[in-house]
Every structure is written in C-alpha cells, then in structure tokens.
A and B are shown apart, each in its own frame.
Chain A
Amino acid sequence: MQRSKGRPRGGGAGQESWVEPLDGHDPVPAEATGQLRYDDPWYDALASGWGESAGDGAQGPAVVPSARTEGGAGAAAADVYLEVQRSAAFQEVRRRYRRFVVPAFVAFFAWYVGYVVAATTVPDLMARPVAGAVNVAMAAGLGQFLSTFLLTWAYARHARLRRDRAALELRWDTQELTRGMNGGTS
C-alpha cells in the first residue's frame, strides 16, 4: 500500500512509514502472497459479458520513463492512477457500480424514509387491518425485511457477475504499473 501511494520509502514523512515496519514483511513479498491467497475470482465470472481487454487505456503509463529521484517516483505513481482512472476499462467498472448502486440506494432509502414518515404521520392508515391481526404497518415492516434481503442478493450477484472480473484485471494491471515505477527507483 505504501508504495502504491507513491510515497518515497524511508522518506520519513508521514507516520505510516513508521507503522509499516511493524507488519514484519517486505512489501514485495507481501504483494506477491497477497495475490496467491486471493479468492479465486474466476469461477463465478462466466456470465460477465464483457470481453474487451481491460488494459487499453491502462497500457499508456507503462512507457513513462522511471524517474531517478524519489519525488519523481511519487509523481510517476500518481500518474499511473490518473491514467488508470481515465482508461475506458476503469470507467466501465465505475459506471457499472454506479448504475446499480445509485438507483438501488435511492429506491431503498426512499422506501425506508417513506415507511418511517408514514408510521409517524398517518398512523390511521398504518393501523388498517390487512388479514387477521396483520395490519398495513406489520405488512410494511415485513416488506422492509424482504426488500433488504432481495437487494442484498441482487447487489452481490451484480457485483460478482458484472464487476469482479474487470476490477481484478485492473487491480493487477495497476499494481504492475506502480511496481514498475517504484522498482525503477529503489
């Protein structure tokens, strides 16, 4: 993490640099093992209808010459993130995330606030019986449980099928690039 933040190692600035030695391992093996123990992201990514290579835009910064000074390394790593952020692959991942999360958030939040406001302002309506002892308020409360379960399932499924694979490719590409940057200086 330290390296990918573009901070000069051993530069002494920021307290994170003195935190890091506590982790007890060198960052390079840490990153390598991090990938080894990664959950296998492929097995459930079959339905992703997203064929293009993730790297089109992200290939660019690979040719940025590694800077000689430590400050230069920081700047170069920052460029990597800017470059990745502008890449079509990343924008696609971000768009998919937002396209699900924004409408879903608005929907459940409005439904919840509506429920709370209705419970306080129109208790008569909420007390209207539906079936047996169950009234509108009970039904709405159980409806909140149901919608929460459904949205949780839908979000997990959407993320698994539509985002995970692309995000993982971007992660690897980005880490490759930042490693190249830092490797050139230290």
Chain B
Amino acid sequence: MTEEHQTLALLLFSAFVAVTLGITTWVSRNRRGSAEEFYAGGRLFSPMENGFAIAGDYMSAASFLGVTGLIALFGYDGLLYVVGFLVAWLVVLFLVAELVRNCGRFTMADVVAARMRERPVRIAAGTSSVTVSVLYLVAQMVGAGSLVALLLGGTSDAARDWTVIGVGALMVIYVSLGGMRATTWIQIVKAVLLLGGTIVLTALVLVRFHGDVDRLLLTAAERSGHGAAFLAPGLKYGGDWTARFDFISLGLALVLGTAGLPHILSRFYTVPTARAARRSVVWAVGLIGGFYLMTIVLGFGAAAILGPDAVRGSNAAGNTAVPLLALDLGGGAGSTGGTVLFAIVAAVAFATILAVVAGITLASSASVAHDLYASLRRRGGKPRSEVAVARLAAVGVGVVAIALGLLARDLNVAFLVGLAFAVAASANLPVLLYSLFWRGFTTRGAVWAVYGGLIPAVVLVVLSPVVSGSPDSLFPGVDLHYFPLQNPGLVSIPLGFLAGWLGTVTSTEVPDEAKHAETEVRSLTGAGAA
C-alpha cells in the first residue's frame, strides 16, 4: 500500500483515539469511584443509547472483516454465520435480557449466586466468564493485527505485533480510567461510525451493479470459479461428514452463545429497568440485523468485484476483503477516492476493534474483581478495594490477551469468535437458564454445569485440528489432534446441560424453596432490582 493510504488512515485513526480518550477523561471527571458507576455506568442509559452500545459491542471485527471475508471466499457458507449471529438475539430477548436485569447487579454470577452458596458458584461462573472473554479478545486482536499488516504492506511482522500491543494498551486505558460510562459512549460512537461506513460501502456496491442484486450474485458466482455452487451451502462445510458436523456444531454455538457472553450480559445492567433492557434489545436487533444484511451484500460484492483470488492473496483467511473492496469502490489503487475510502474503512475497523475490546475487558475485569477476587480474598478487607481491583484486573486481562493475540495471528477472526461462542454456550448458558427456570437446581448442579461445559469445551479445542495436527494449526509441528471437529459446541453444550442436571440430582442439598421463589418473583416483576 502507498504512503498516502497509511498517512490518511493513521490520521483518521488517531482522530478516533483522540476523541475516545477525550470521552474517557470527560466522562470520568466527576467520577465517584463506586462499583455501580464503574461496572454499570450509573444504570441511567436510555434504551436507545444502550441499544446502540449493544450493537457496538456485538458488531465486532469478526463480523465486519471476518464474515465478509468468508462470504467472499466461500459464498453461502459465510452467510450461515450471519444468520446464527442474528437469530441468537431471540434467545437473549426471550430468556435472558429482562430476567438478568431484574436479578443481577453487575455480572452473570450475581444471578446464580442469589440462589446458591455464593463462594463456589461465584468462583465457577467468574472463571468461565473470564475464559470466554479472553478467547473473544484474542479474536479481536488478531483482527487488528491483520488490518495493520494490510495497511503497512502485509510483510512487517513487527508492525503487526506492535499494533496488537498498542490496541491492548489503549483498551486498558479506556477501561481502567473510564469504566462502563466511557466504554458505553465509545461503543455508541463506534456503532454510528461502523453503520455509516457500511451503509456507504453497500450503496457503492449496489450502484456499481445498478441496484441489480441478482446480477451482483451471478457475477460473484461466476468470478468465484464455482458457478452456482457459490450461492448454495457446501463449499466450506460440505465435504465429508466431519465438516458437516463441524458446521452444525458452529451453528448451535452461535445461536446459544450470545446469551452467555459476559460483555453482552453486563450491558443490561446499564439501564434502569427490565423494560428498558427489553427495549434496548429491540433496538439492537434492528441495528444488528440491518448491519448483517449489508455485510452479505459486501461479502458477495467483494467476490464479484475483486474475485476470491485477490482476497486470498492479501490475507489467506479473508480478513482484509472489506478494506480492499473499499479501495476498489473508491476508484482503485492510486486514485484519491480509493485512498480516502480505504483509509476511512481501515480507521472504522480499528475503531470497531478498540471498542469491542474495551467492552470485553470491562466485563472480564468485573468478573475478576466482583466474583473471583471477592470470593477468594480474605474476609474483612477494605471495601474500597473492589473497583481498584477491577482496574488492575483490566491490566492483567490486557496482558494475557496481547500475548495470545500475538500467538494466534493467522486464524480467521470469525472462526475464533465461533470458539468463544462455543465456550460461552457450554459454560455460561446452562447455569444461567437452570438457575432462572429450574426450581430444584442446587449449588452442586450450578458448579457442575459451569465446569461440565467449560472443561470439555476447552479440552476439545486443545485436542482439535485448530491447535495441532494440520498445516493451518497453531502448532503445526505437534500432533495432539484427537477430536475431529474445529468447533466443540455440538458435544460441549449438551455436556454442560447434562452436568448441571447430574450435579443437581446427585446432590444431597435440599433446594431452597424461598430462594427460588425470590429469584422467580424478582426476575419477572423486578421487585428489589438494583
């Protein structure tokens, strides 16, 4: 890429960083330093603001860069991701959003711990939340890395590594200084920027084909070299039965995982009531649905205009399809329009990554401080310390995510996010649903549900072809590959539910009727909600 690209993109991106740092300092000027303020932004956001922030949290680099790349390379099979990402919101809306808002204070563990012996349940739920967050963070970091590799010419490994480190450092600053209030405003700004950028690109793609979607699809199919097969399922996941089960596994993980993502759950605590939580989800579904419809157009547009070879040539996993598409739509390499559009898209993608990363870091630091630290520390410490611990935890999570992000840099971003969703669906969703809806659920059931989902999910990933045993793995040299599927969801999600049931029926503890009554009444009416 040329000098102007780099300069302009860097300028725009610096502007975004400056604005967001400004927001962070402005928002935190009168900060009271309370837990309510740090984790939940004072709980006074409006449904529309929260809806934009949820969309900003959810529309990650995985969607913008990863999914469009997958559609450009594999046609219809990439589109299947998008459907899963959207349908998942029905699970959130129906079963989780309002009830969690009514029952919890800051984290998912609050909901479960209200009915159980607190300590073991908090430790379990906190551990799984942090694991999910770190996996998701790694995906975002990899996205940032491949974007920079593209910007700086694709060869400089050092530049890529420094970007990952820089993104990590920025997110730690946002979160530890600004807490939820700053993070939320950054999400809102980012959601507006991302939607704006996507609308412009989509419009340009449609104009290029004179508004004829049919011709866009046919051109994409033709240029892909696969013909009509490009528009039907099967290119990526249609081979043997392993690939097919892999896809079903991914589909389950996507649709059930969203409701277990800690950074999504924590967003519901930023509005005053359950009703506001519901309305923010309605906003979010509208925004996210519209966004995904446009990414489909962009993905097929990239296939039709650039061709899969150009996409693959720039990044084997397809993560750079959208910036390349922008370059072409603006008039091609060397033209002013192309340069500007490319720079804008690159900056927006960076902003996306930064904002998502900040949201996840905040959620995981809340889990560390509010659940893990609070349960593991000695009794009788100073109460002031929880927010301080959360700020420190943000730094720790940042360091871990940076290290793993440097390791995993050649994997497709959307695929990595699929793993995070699988762990969330296996470890977090069963325990959450059981404690909201099952009268007889016990402490042992809760602990088993978490570990019974978390451990199989993580172990199966370690034993999968992602980590070892194939040329594309993380460690191609070793062979620990005993589990055939890339995504563990098909096995680990049922295991999580099964373990929760098994733990409950084998425990001698008598379920507390009154506590269940309290959870049920509070979850549906909002009585006593924080």
Contacts and interface: CB of A to CB of B under 8 A. Distances in A.
A103 B234 CA distance: 31
B286 to A, nearest CB: 8
B244 A120 contact: yes
Contacts of A105: 90-91, 94-95
Given A22-B35, A90-B525, A135-B231, A148 B118 contact: no
Interface string A70-104: 00000000110110110000100110010001001
Interface string B74-112: 001001101110110111011100100000010000000
B385 to A, nearest CB: 9
A97 B524 contact: yes
Contact of B79 (A34, A112, A141, A170): A141
Interface string A125-166: 011010011110110010011001101110110011000100
Interface string A17-61: 011011110000000001001110100000000000000000000
A175 to B, nearest CB: 5
Contacts, number: 218
A67 to B, nearest CB: 15
Nearest to A147: B87
Nearest to A107: B90
B387 to A, nearest CB: 7
A148 B32 contact: no
B517 A81 contact: yes
B526 A171 contact: yes
A1 B387 CA distance: 20
Given A1-B530, A15-B375, A116-B248, A23 B34 contact: yes
Contacts of A82: 513-514, 517
Contacts of A133: 213-215, 217-218, 221, 231
A4 B90 contact: no
B83 A152 contact: no
Given A116-B251, A137-B232, A171-B526, A5 B89 contact: no
B370 interface: yes
B528 A174 contact: yes
B248 to A, nearest CB: 6
B238 interface: yes
* Most chain B C-beta atoms within 10 Å of own C-beta, residue among A81, A117, A138: A81
Contact of A39 (B83, B276, B374): B276
Contact of B525 (A19, A78, A159, A174): A174
A137 B89 contact: no
Interface string B207-241: 00000011101100100000011011110011000
A127 B285 contact: no
Contact of B36 (A22, A115, A144, A160): A22
Interface string B293-327: 10000000000000000000000000000000000
Nearest to B99: A97
B527 A145 contact: no
B247 interface: yes
A101 B94 contact: yes
A105 to B, nearest CB: 6
A5 B118 CA distance: 13
A114 to B, nearest CB: 11
A127 B229 contact: yes
B21 interface: no
Contacts of B525: 84, 90, 93, 167-168, 170-171, 174
A117 B237 CA distance: 12
Contacts of A129: 228
Contacts of B278: 156, 159
Contacts of A84: 517, 521, 525, 527
B481 interface: no
A123 interface: yes
A75 to B, nearest CB: 8
B114 A5 contact: yes
B273 interface: yes
Nearest to B241: A120
Contacts of B83: 112, 115, 141, 144-145
A61 B95 CA distance: 30
Contact of B383 (A18, A79, A151): A18
B426 to A, nearest CB: 17
Contact of B90 (A6, A141, A152, A160): A152
A16 B91 CA distance: 29
Given A18-B383, A132-B217, A144-B87, 14 more contacts: A1-B529, A14-B118, A18-B381, A19-B386, A81-B517, A82-B513, A93-B524, A97-B524, A108-B87, A108-B90, A109-B255, A120-B237, A145-B293, A171-B526
The 3 closest A-B pairs by CB, nearest first: A4-B528, A127-B232, A78-B514
27 contacts: A6-B518, A15-B375, A19-B35, A38-B273, A78-B515, A81-B522, A101-B95, A108-B90, A112-B251, A113-B252, A116-B247, A116-B251, A123-B234, A127-B231, A133-B214, A133-B231, A138-B76, A141-B80, A144-B86, A151-B90, A159-B275, A167-B526, A170-B525, A171-B525, A171-B526, A171-B529, A175-B528
